[in-house]
Amino acid sequence: DTAVSQTPKYLVTQMGNDKSIKCEQNLGHDTMYWYKQDSKKFLKIMFSYNNKELIINETVPNRFSPKSPDKAHLNLHINSLELGDSAVYFCASSHGQGNSPLHFGNGTRLTVT
Amino acid sequence: GNSVTQMEGPVTLSEEAFLTINCTYTATGYPSLFWYVQYPGEGLQLLLKATKADDKGSNKGFEATYRKETTSFHLEKGSVQVSDSAVYFCALSEDGGTASKLTFGTGTRLQVTL
């Protein structure tokens, strides 16, 4: 199936740990994104990569580090997790044009205890 | 900066009722406008879009018209079904060159009952 897939679906961890979320798309898109959705469902962009190059980097703590080994993958590594990092993280992809719609993965629910 | 304002939910309707979810925006330039839908436990799916003034986006019985004069993009459906229960997000896209930098509204939860 063509899709944006991210793993894991659920991630429960303790404060101070380091964790990673992986994302892969097989839609042939050039651009990938990470969005954070908080408990009130508000969505905010974190990062965007185009062909492995970082092009959007919003005000995000530097504990969050995205890595794009190729244009089909965009992983998110989080160091020293904090309670406030608990959220649902969505990966998305699109063609590399300003008004292209985004295709989202099903999200990773991160719970920091 | 850009912003999107949606009516607060939840919106509760009986099946076959008429639906309107209001959305207004503030933007510099000429953004593209989108409605996304999020079903429980899933990611967002594109519902419809409009790229310029007076364009009407439509899909699955839902419609929205890009109104530049009122900076609005209200979502409508003539007869809702229980399966339409979800959270609906209005969004605008800046032309970010090689990326779509979406600004989302806060989402409106729709609950349709029999």
pLDDT tens-place string over residues B55-92 = 999 999 999 999 999 999 999 999 999 999 999 999 99
**SS3 state of residue A84:** helix
Distance CA(B79)–CA(B61), nearest Å, equals 8
Confidence grade of residue A57 (pLDDT, cut at 50, 70, 90): confident
Confidence grade of residue B96 (pLDDT, cut at 50, 70, 90): low
Average pLDDT over all residues of chain A: 92
Contacts of B87 in chain A (CB under 8 A): 41
Strands (E), chain A: 4-7, 10-13, 19-25, 31-37, 43-50, 53-57, 64-70, 73-78, 87-94, 103-104, 108-112
Residue A62 has pLDDT above 80, yes or no: yes
Q: Which residues of B54-87 are buried (b: 16+ CB within 10 A; e: fewer)?
A: eeebeeeebbbbbbeeebbbbbebeebeeebbbb
Q: Is A94 on the interface with B (CB under 8 A)?
A: yes
Residue B99 has pLDDT above 80, yes or no: no
The confidence score (pLDDT) of residue A98 equals 65
The confidence score (pLDDT) of residue A109 equals 96
Average pLDDT over all residues of chain B: 92
Nearest beta carbon to residue B100 from set A40, A99, A106: A99
- Mean pLDDT for B41-57 is 93
Distance CA(A6)–CA(B3), nearest Å, equals 28
Distance CA(A20)–CA(A104), nearest Å, equals 18
